[in-house]
Structure 1
């Protein structure tokens, strides 16, 4: 069974390859290096059935793009694996550029997370997420949580997260971190910088460039494609409106009873769910968020296509 990372990179590789074939596109040196070192090896680690399903899905996606972005058929298209090309503020995985136009493609393979940011005592999370300086209250609380956790692990010779019970993870990490982080969000969103922080938060999650998101359900053979178009220039010409205020921030239990979820509701139909989890097996002073949109405006453009 392949890992989710193998499938994710394999799916990106397949879309680049199909883009090169259908669009007669080219790739730059950074993407070529990524293909050789990461994309091709991850694709080759997949089963034949997984590879064939990804080819069908990628071919469907590229043909969809040519229907709504017909300029892609005019030639001279360069295809980039975004992270390989240094696209830090672009949440797309693959970007197609040519003739002064560009369109991004965010690919999801049986999952829907948009970002995987970290939380630790050294990360200025409010500056990163909200565009404001992190207050001393949050910094002090997070430092104390991780210091207590480190002391507990050292005293009990705990070296791996899987040595901890769910109750220990909940009490030592998940509950206190989600509590102080949700309090920080409420203080900022309800403060004088609230409207700007809301806009910054959404831009942090979706980047600063418009894109299509294509989520492939390989079990059902179906694609859900959504247009994240904030400038009104993408093919469907259906502009999304950014939220202006936060309505609610709630900490919620997960399926195993760990209080490691935060649900954030904004106006205009936007809703974000964040899941806190351990990023690695070994104990470290860092956890990771899986962040996904569970609510977008009702009039957001999307379509479902079989492959």
Structure 2
């Protein structure tokens, strides 16, 4: 992710924090926990023009109004103080993809929001000569066969790095790097799935989507809509309040139990498509994340199909 995109993402998170505070404080006591992530987001926010600040606020308000309909416990009548905070980026490495938390300590309740600005990416995981993706993704170490398969690929990249080569200098990076690396990745997933059929599909999705239920909120500027997707995999979202009732009902989604298909996207040398049962579908596009050659590549992982229980809600902006 470029520095500009990173700053825009942080600023967009900050817009949600200030709009949440403004709207909630009309109804009940609320505080913002000002941690290091808060100050980083505030700094990014202050780099925006006034026009962009207003745009982000309008986008955030559209999403937040619908979140209030989904989560009555946010505004439910009570004397306890509600807390909101931006989570540290390191939480993502621990399986928590939520950017903003809304917390009521008094009833031991919280929900999380994953905030995206103009993109739908799920993860940007890496593959390298030393990174054990199996241990990180689903708790199973990669096999010796996997390390053997990827060794010549990364030896080639190491040699090109020593020559200060650029990726654009490589005569055929797709056939020499992307295809064999994806084939090794594919074989390893299939190998582990054969050994652990009851675990791997579920663990992969939990790695990609995190260990906690959450709402993904995507601001789409060119369409002037904010889309909300509810990932209610454990039934912790959409709880009714004592006084307020939920205006929108969302179902619980089922995690997958088997891999249906894992193969190259048609006519592509850089993308695998993973199809699981229960309606889950993902694409894994491998790419170089830098201009100069380095022995590390990055995935752009996208959801290309979701269970019918995950119903996207498009919230139109009011300007």
The Cα shift of 1:115 comes to 1.2
The Cα shift of 1:128 comes to 1.3
Matching of residue 77 in structure 1 with residue 82 in structure 2: yes
| Residue number in structure 2 paired with 1:207 | 210
| Residue number in structure 1 paired with 2:62 | 60
Matching of residue 171 in structure 1 with residue 179 in structure 2: no
- Could you tell me which runs of 5 or more consecutive residues in structure 2 were left unpaired when the two chains were aligned: 239-248
The Cα shift of 1:4 comes to 2.2
Q: Out of 236, 240, 244, which is 1:233 matched to?
A: 236
Deviations 1:145-182 (A, max 9, x none): 1112222443xx33433x435x5321332111111111
The secondary structure found in structure 1 opposite 2:227 is strand
Matching of residue 111 in structure 1 with residue 119 in structure 2: yes
Deviations 1:185-214 (A, max 9, x none): 12222x130220111101001111100111
Distance in 2, Cα, partners of 1:210 & 1:234:
7
| Residue number in structure 2 paired with 1:95 | 101
Q: Give the length in aligned residue pairs.
A: 296
- Could you tell me which runs of 5 or more consecutive residues in structure 1 were left unpaired when the two chains were aligned: none
Matches within 5 A, 1:119-268: 119-154=127-162, 157-161=163-167, 163-165=168-170, 167-189=171-193, 191-235=194-238, 236-252=249-265, 259-268=269-278
Distance in 2, Cα, partners of 1:280 & 1:149:
13
Distance in 2, Cα, partners of 1:97 & 1:208:
17
The secondary structure found in structure 1 opposite 2:44 is helix
Distance in 2, Cα, partners of 1:59 & 1:240:
26
Task: From the superposition, tell whether residues 139 and 222 of structure 1 become closer, same or farther in structure 2 (CA, over 3 Å).
Answer: same
Distance in 1, Cα, partners of 2:90 & 2:128:
27
Distance in 2, Cα, partners of 1:149 & 1:172:
10
The secondary structure found in structure 1 opposite 2:207 is helix
| Residue number in structure 2 paired with 1:275 | 285
TM-score, scaled to structure 2: 0.86
Q: Which has the higher contact order (CA 8 A, sep 6+)?
A: 2
Task: From the superposition, tell whether residues 160 and 48 of structure 1 become closer, same or farther in structure 2 (CA, over 3 Å).
Answer: farther
Q: Is the 8 A contact 2:133 2:142 kept in 1?
A: yes
Q: Is the 8 A contact 2:161 2:294 kept in 1?
A: no
User: Cα RMSD over matched residues?
Assistant: 2.2
| Residue number in structure 1 paired with 2:242 | none
Matches within 5 A, 1:12-23: 12-23=13-24
Q: Is the 8 A contact 1:91 1:114 kept in 2?
A: no
Task: From the superposition, tell whether residues 192 and 2 of structure 1 become closer, same or farther in structure 2 (CA, over 3 Å).
Answer: closer
The secondary structure found in structure 2 opposite 1:239 is coil
TM-score, scaled to structure 1: 0.89
